[in-house]
Structure 1
Amino acid sequence: MTLAEQLVGIAQRPKSEADLARAALHLLDWLGCIAAAQGSPAGQSALRFAGWSQLAEGVAPDARAEETAFVTGALGNVLEMDDLHRASLLHVGDVVCAATLAAALTRGVSGPALLSALVSGYEVAIRIGSAAAAQGYAPWYNSATCGVFGAAMASAEIAGLAHPADALAQAGMSASGIWQCRLDPGTGKQLATAQAARSGLVAAQLVEAGFTGPNRILEGELGFFAIYYPNADPHVVTAQPDADFAIHEVSFKPYPACRHTHAAIAAALDLAGPPPARVEVATYGAALTFCDNPAPETAHEARFSLQHCLAVALTRGAPGLADFEAAARADPVLADLRARITLCEDAGMTAAFPGQMGARLTLWSPDGAARSRNRATAPGDPEDPLSTAAINAKAHRNLCHGGASPEAATGLIEACHALPEARDLTPLRRALTRALTHGAADAPLC
């Protein structure tokens, strides 16, 4: 059997009630992320591209699945609140949730079928991503290049394909997304995840129409790993085939900032007290590569600034969306503290990356006394999980930020939690329509 065929077998194992409930939480978290982002410049660009005035058009009964996957796939990472699997360096929900929801709404499947497909899609994306990230970051944006396989798997399961491995093969033929989008301003990341969501969905549609793909798309001499990730460890793809589903290893992000800042933010919140005279952060090398920016000029740059995130956490508490906007960036108190924060690499933390993304924070008071806090994990990681109530609260805030009324936000949260028992997706579609109808009379900003 090829790697793709073995992987399909692993992904399509029976799912438990706990697996389905976990998938419902990730779908809800992602829906909050895309709702909050629909009014952003990137969100507005995606909506204009589709000719939509609001995200609610993507869940209408006559919406085209490919278009819905593309537009919603563009929005999950805009505000940096998307879920993350550490070992694979994957923001899985950005791609897999977008494709799965689009496919499921078109097919009219049951709630359990939608959630089962999500679990399968997460499994495929994470296993391929973990093999690809065996040596850390590569020039490719894993969320897109590896995420497309998860989107294809979930879409194939929704469609009831007899040979889902062919969908993985077609997905591999369209895998794309290089990391230059990290180095230059713009919306390249949004295009990468949008294209991956749509390509995964289309891969399943092509197979349903009779297309077949290269069987050894993953392990072949000109296959995915050989060409994209020559340092990958393909054995990871099928290791521990009976392990718990990987969706349980995915982290939720409580703060709207790059995940590389989260352990440091948590350490700062642990050390709450008088403003320090100076601050030192010791962390792993990738965090410094991504997030060393003492003078961010945009909201996006501020979300990738350890200095700004820590200044906010130490003076204002847990960061929220407003803490990255122009007024916060220009706040002289935050600017002064950013200038007194130094960063350094910890070799042990670098060696533990990407399995761990930790930080050690040391604060010095004006009299020279030091306080320190080490964080190997961050809130939202499997070792320090967010409660269901906290995930619900995050989704509620994000849905309201995107234009939903408190009642509409609550309705969507309830509809997501009801999916494991839902015979069809009618209640979910209704709740989505109400919550994503921006500017509706019953949906004031909150």
Structure 2
Amino acid sequence: MSAQTLKAAYYRGGSSKAVFLLEDDIPPPGNVRDALIKRLIGAPDPLQIDGMGGSRVVSSKVAIIRKSTRDEADVDYTFAQIGITDGVVRYDNNCGNISSAVGPFAITAGLVDKFRGGAPSLGHKDTQEVRIYNTGTKKLLVAHVPVDSKTGGVVEEGDFSIAGVPGTGAPILLDYSGTIGATLGKGLLPTQNITDTIQLGENQIPITICDVANLIVFVKAADVGMTGSETPDEINSNPEIIKVLSEVRGKGSMLVGRCSDWTRVDEQSPFIPLMAVMSPATESNGHLSVRLMLDNKCHESVAGTGSVCIAACSRIRGSVAHQQIRPGVDSEPTLQLQHPRGVMPVSVSVKEESQGKDIPIFQSLSFVRTARRVMSGELHVPSEVQFTPQKVNGVQNGHAEQTPPNVTEELCQFVADLRYEMIDPKMVAKVKELVIDQIGVAVGAAQGAESSEPFVKAVSTLQGTAIQDGSTVFTKGKTWLPQFAGMLNAAFVHTFDFDDTDADAIVHPGASVVPSVLAAGELANCDGKTLITAFTAAYEIICRIGRALGLGSYERGFHNTGTVGILGAVAGISKVRGLDVKQIANAFGLAGSFASGSMQFLENGSWNKRLHPAMAVHNAFIAVTMAEAGVLGSAKPLEGKWGMLHAYSTSATLEGLTDNLGKEWKFAKTAIKPWPACRMTHTSIQMVDELSTLYKGKPVKKIQVELSPGCWNIVGMPKQNKIHPQCIVDAQFSLYYQIAVSWLYGIDLQWRVYDLLTDKKLNELTEKIDILSNEDVVTLEARMQVEWEDGTKANRAMVFPLGEPENPLSRDGIYKKFLGLVSHIYGNKKAQKIIATVENLESAHAQDLMSLL
């Protein structure tokens, strides 16, 4: 089989080099793309002798460019760093030097539709602005590229020189002021500290961790046994120095949640963070000296993104970089950064309102590089790597192998890496609200629901002998195995249909999350921060996978609360028990075969639905325990050929499933329900409350409601057990019942709402209700028209019912709901203590909370 050819360009950008490819010309993200990129570069191989790589970190790079569909960007730029000896391809960062060549490549390739004049750059008045969206950091940077005023072509020749590169070229200004928090999304200082202290041998040393353009751990050269004047070769050939610097990088990574064990940092967090070894400048024109470490090797000069981060850190008073800067220059508009090949100027200015403060707000962070197209043409790819472009002549190629990314692996890595310190404080507060709410509805159901006694009796039989000092079932004692305690508590949470919901994921996440984490946490008596971290991981997993499955799972007859719930429970239990990423992946793989939950319960209002999260939690304990013991689970249980996303839904998608993991919290949209009925009925309940109050006592002729097709299929279809429910589950999923009971008796009955199933007035009113399916209505939206006997009509429409993030319950409202469910069981004093314990969970342990329940 003959070699394939691939159009490519080879650019020097700053002091690095990369192969530039158009994204349409290569396969989509996945194993085939990775194999192609490694073969082009010649990795893994220390010499990279059979590829375009140059056996150095600065030349083992690829840039993938496409025209952007974003309003704020001209092109999307994916940077790939390829491990020289291990061949690992990483896409989750950026290279500032290579970024300088993106603008020239984009202009030359015709990817920039609209000309916008850029900022003058060191005497070049004619420049073109190119807005570049970096997919690895999800940040926007702006290049100001010198162009010919007559032809519009890129100008490469000029008299600007940069250290480490022979000759001169035209200056390209790169503005990185929009890249604060690029890696972790937690701002300038992701630990919120100017310095953190780590143990290094017998000494405690300060480090600073800063996140601008790239994440960097800063350390003083003197604290790691260096002078700061060592050459890259001297550093790279000294295994003791590499070992010490790796330890510092690993311990810094642990502080920001990038790894769980510093000795495994190269496995758990390769490449990122970078390491900056700082020392006072020795050159007269230098302000500060650096040796920048990337992939356990010293950079030949300094990375562009690294220079921006160093400049930013140098303006943070008390930081490691600031402590090493030449006195009196920390307010100058340009940092002269000394590196092994010379001095690099970086423009840095802070906003006037933050001048004089320890933590600055930056007005500009920019540097100047040069770039040159070294080659353009075709690369020959050996036949061992067969690939198909995404597009041919601009048309999508139907034969392109859509190798899915390993999203299961990414989700498992997220669970393994997550630390309390990485969680947005707003999300910590959200978790506490959700936990209080789920405990409340579970305790209420444990004592008040008709199914609870049979559930307890059955599980008691399954367990056999009660155990001493076991796990707690709410209101039923501490005599249970954890899988059975979690199982019963999950059933209680979901019984009233009063538990939290995520409308976008079409799932009740808390029904599996809270019981599983509490059962595992009580057994381990873990601290409150571990509980919060486990809750967060579990909620996020459920809400992301639920979104990926979409409404198509219900069309196929599956109940997301059961099918996805087990994966959230696995995540939470794994986090409490401290499983590593391999064990978590095996647990996910096993759970994929246990995931179940049929919508057939709607046929006769059975209790199956209440048991869906119960079985999810029970089986999650089995999956995690087996994985801990070394049992092998299936690979790719989500995205594989027979995985959940294919088997359990007609509309599943991988798009966005793992985007911004740990930065953007999908579970933030989880709603707390004000009424114990299917969430799809709540918009109508709220409109009924308004209209029945406004027109109190006026006889109704007809009520018509329009729902989205998905909601209509579940709560609005005109079947006999919807119009006249025969049991509680029927009524929970009947919009006819919910409208009628709310119109006649108000919306504050809580669980007593189901005492009225045989009420004559109610059943007469349900006959006057028409519910229609309308494709123009979306998600939880509902449109209502009420007509009275006198011929008058009123219309209402609502998109977000009470409890949704756009229309949230207040904290007092959440407490009121909790106390209404719990106080008559535990007493008001104990109920208030439960709330206080959850609100101060960081200072408690799991058994402190469970002893109250």
Q: What do the CA deviations read for 1:95-130 (whole angstroms, capped 9, x no partner)? A: 121111111111111112111111101111111111
Tell whether 2:828 aligns with 1:406. yes
> Structure 2 vs 1, CA of residues 283 and 231 (structure 1 numbering), >3 Å: closer, same or farther?
closer
> Structure 2 vs 1, CA of residues 319 and 339 (structure 1 numbering), >3 Å: closer, same or farther?
farther
Tell whether 2:614 aligns with 1:194. yes
The CA RMSD measured in Å over matched residues stands at 2.2
Q: Distance in 2 between matches of 1:24 and 1:308?
A: 32
Q: Distance in 1 between matches of 2:732 and 2:521?
A: 33
> Structure 2 vs 1, CA of residues 384 and 85 (structure 1 numbering), >3 Å: closer, same or farther?
same
1:341 alignment partner in structure 2: 769
Tell whether 2:505 aligns with 1:88. yes
Q: Distance in 2 between matches of 1:202 and 1:20?
A: 28
Higher strand share: 2
| Alignment equivalent of 2:436, drawn from 28, 37, 40 | 28
Q: Distance in 2 between matches of 1:65 and 1:332?
A: 45
> Structure 2 vs 1, CA of residues 343 and 210 (structure 1 numbering), >3 Å: closer, same or farther?
same
1:300 alignment partner in structure 2: 729
Asked whether the equivalents of residues 65 and 103 of structure 1 are also in contact (C-alpha less than 8 Å), the reply is: yes
2:738 alignment partner in structure 1: 309
Letter in 1 for 2:439: L
Q: What do the CA deviations read for 1:340-388 (whole angstroms, capped 9, x no partner)? A: 2221122211xx2xxx211112122332121111011100011101111
Q: Distance in 2 between matches of 1:323 and 1:289?
A: 26
Tell whether 2:452 aligns with 1:46. no
TM-score, scaled relative to structure 2: 0.48
| Alignment equivalent of 1:9, drawn from 399, 404, 413 | 413
The within-5 A match list for 1:162-177 is: 162-163=580-581, 164-177=584-597
The within-5 A match list for 1:191-340 is: 191-229=611-649, 231-241=651-661, 243-271=663-691, 272=693, 273-274=695-696, 275=698, 276-292=700-716, 293-326=722-755, 328-340=756-768
Displacement of 1:134: 5.5
> Structure 2 vs 1, CA of residues 306 and 431 (structure 1 numbering), >3 Å: closer, same or farther?
same
Q: Distance in 2 between matches of 1:330 and 1:184?
A: 17
Letter in 1 for 2:424: S
Asked whether the equivalents of residues 837 and 844 of structure 2 are also in contact (C-alpha less than 8 Å), the reply is: no
Q: Which structure 1 segments of 5+ residues have no match?
A: 433-446
2:570 alignment partner in structure 1: 152
Q: What do the CA deviations read for 1:236-282 (whole angstroms, capped 9, x no partner)? A: 32134354212211111100111111000011122222233321111
Letter in 2 for 1:333: K
Q: Distance in 2 between matches of 1:218 and 1:71?
A: 27
> Structure 2 vs 1, CA of residues 57 and 82 (structure 1 numbering), >3 Å: closer, same or farther?
closer
User: Larger radius of gyration, structure 1 or 2?
Assistant: 2
Asked whether the equivalents of residues 47 and 55 of structure 1 are also in contact (C-alpha less than 8 Å), the reply is: no
The within-5 A match list for 1:430-445 is: 430-432=851-853
Q: Distance in 1 between matches of 2:475 and 2:766?
A: 42
**Secondary structure in structure 2 of the residue aligned to 1:431:** coil
Q: Distance in 1 between matches of 2:551 and 2:601?
A: 22
Displacement of 1:149: 0.6
Q: What do the CA deviations read for 1:374-411 (whole angstroms, capped 9, x no partner)? A: 0111000111011111111111111236x222222222
> Percent same amino acid among aligned pairs?
23
Report which structure shows greater RCO (CA 8 Å, sep ≥6): 1
Asked whether the equivalents of residues 119 and 245 of structure 1 are also in contact (C-alpha less than 8 Å), the reply is: no
Range 244-253 or range 270-279, more displaced: 270-279
Letter in 2 for 1:282: E
Q: Distance in 1 between matches of 2:624 and 2:528?
A: 20
**Secondary structure in structure 2 of the residue aligned to 1:51:** helix
Q: What do the CA deviations read for 1:188-223 (whole angstroms, capped 9, x no partner)? A: 112322110111222222222222322222122232
Asked whether the equivalents of residues 96 and 118 of structure 1 are also in contact (C-alpha less than 8 Å), the reply is: yes
Q: Distance in 1 between matches of 2:830 and 2:848?
A: 12
Q: Distance in 2 between matches of 1:296 and 1:178?
A: 20
The within-5 A match list for 1:60-209 is: 60=478, 63-133=480-550, 135=552, 137=554, 138-163=556-581, 164-209=584-629
Displacement of 1:322: 5.0
Q: Which structure 2 segments of 5+ residues have no match?
A: 1-404, 467-471, 717-721
> Structure 2 vs 1, CA of residues 329 and 377 (structure 1 numbering), >3 Å: closer, same or farther?
same
| Alignment equivalent of 2:839, drawn from 413, 417, 427 | 417
Q: Distance in 2 between matches of 1:296 and 1:415?
A: 40
TM-score, scaled relative to structure 1: 0.89
Tell whether 2:792 aligns with 1:369. yes
> Structure 2 vs 1, CA of residues 332 and 227 (structure 1 numbering), >3 Å: closer, same or farther?
closer
Asked whether the equivalents of residues 712 and 771 of structure 2 are also in contact (C-alpha less than 8 Å), the reply is: yes
> Structure 2 vs 1, CA of residues 242 and 107 (structure 1 numbering), >3 Å: closer, same or farther?
closer
